[in-house]
Amino acid sequence: MGDLFAPAHLVVIFIIVLFIFGPGKLPNIGKDLGKSIREFKKAVSEPEAPAPVTAPARREAEPAPTPEELRARNAAPSVPPQDLG
């Protein structure tokens, strides 16, 4: 594993990259890679800002139900008996 980045290997990798991307795009690739690394380091080192607290939406208060309304809600619906015969 120590010989993985030997100078001969790096030269071969550079030639392959040069062949794939061409000499005109190599400076742009290096610049973009450096910019990406800097932004990543900056994002990792900065603490996260707390999320802004938003107030919950206000609803208009409904009047409390009367006892008669509560009984009507809880009462079983009256269903006429069915003739099973």
- Dump pLDDT digits (tens) for 25-58: 888 888 998 999 999 999 888 777 677 777 666 6
Longest CA pairwise span in the chain (Å): 98
Overall pTM > 0.75: no
